[in-house]
Structure 1
Amino acid sequence: MKPEPPSSTDKAVERDIASHIFSTSAMMMGLCLTVISLMDVRSGTNRLATVVDDIIALDALFFLVSCFLSYGALRSRRVRRMHHVEAFADGVFLIGMAGMGVACVLFVWTIF
């Protein structure tokens, strides 16, 4: 039995996921910038705050890569390539989110 080719509805759903990754990763980059500037104002020269700044700066790079990859998935004409690029963008985005979770825990420790 031959597998059925993806319908236009399936392709639209996949593009919808890629567009969500694209917009959310761009927003998360802005959040990273905001948190870095907030850490500079609140902490002064606290050593743990510098580690948090470094983690968040690295997360911003992960979100930037995720943003570019999801844009590439949106622009892709081949469905198979779109799936691969989108899956990679999703993985990079999740790594960035995990880093933000670690940074949030460390950020709370710097406040107290």
Structure 2
Amino acid sequence: MPAAHESHPHADTRHVNRTLEADLCIHIFTASAALVGVCLTVIGLLHIVTATTKVATIGDDLLAADATLFMLACVLAYWALRSRSSRRMHRLERVADAIFLAGLLLMTIVCGVITWAIL
């Protein structure tokens, strides 16, 4: 028979999983917030460096969409951190993670558009 001070093994596993999910949410939250700033900075630089070329217009439009994706991931990660239900937290974390990865993919595409002037 377990001692009174020992906890149930499944309870420990749930606590560790919730802690790991919270850590992931914190990383998504901070990284996506920083990447919103990066997108805004690059949009400003594109407006300064280039004249009104089609590439700059495509690049800054894509970066604006990318900033929106990162902001959405940031809000969802924050919402997941504030959630009291671990099931809701897990769902929000997965959605935030997917949107964050989509934002990274779009950022890579934007780099190609800006670098190689793909129209």
TM-score in terms of structure 2 length: 0.86
C-alpha displacement of 1:42: 1.0
User: What is residue 94 of structure 1 aligned with on the other side?
Assistant: 101
CA RMSD of aligned residues (A): 1.1
Q: How many residues align?
A: 107
Q: Which amino acid aligns with 2:81?
A: L
User: What is residue 55 of structure 1 aligned with on the other side?
Assistant: 62
C-alpha displacement of 1:107: 1.0
User: What is residue 79 of structure 1 aligned with on the other side?
Assistant: 86
User: What is residue 42 of structure 1 aligned with on the other side?
Assistant: 49
Between structure 1 and structure 2, the one with the greater Rg is: 2
Gapped regions of structure 2 (runs ≥ 5)? 1-9
Which of 69, 91, 106 lines up with 2:113 in the alignment? Answer: 106
TM-score in terms of structure 1 length: 0.91
| Matched-pair identity in % | 41
Q: Which amino acid aligns with 1:22?
A: F
3-state SS, counterpart of residue 71 of structure 1 = helix
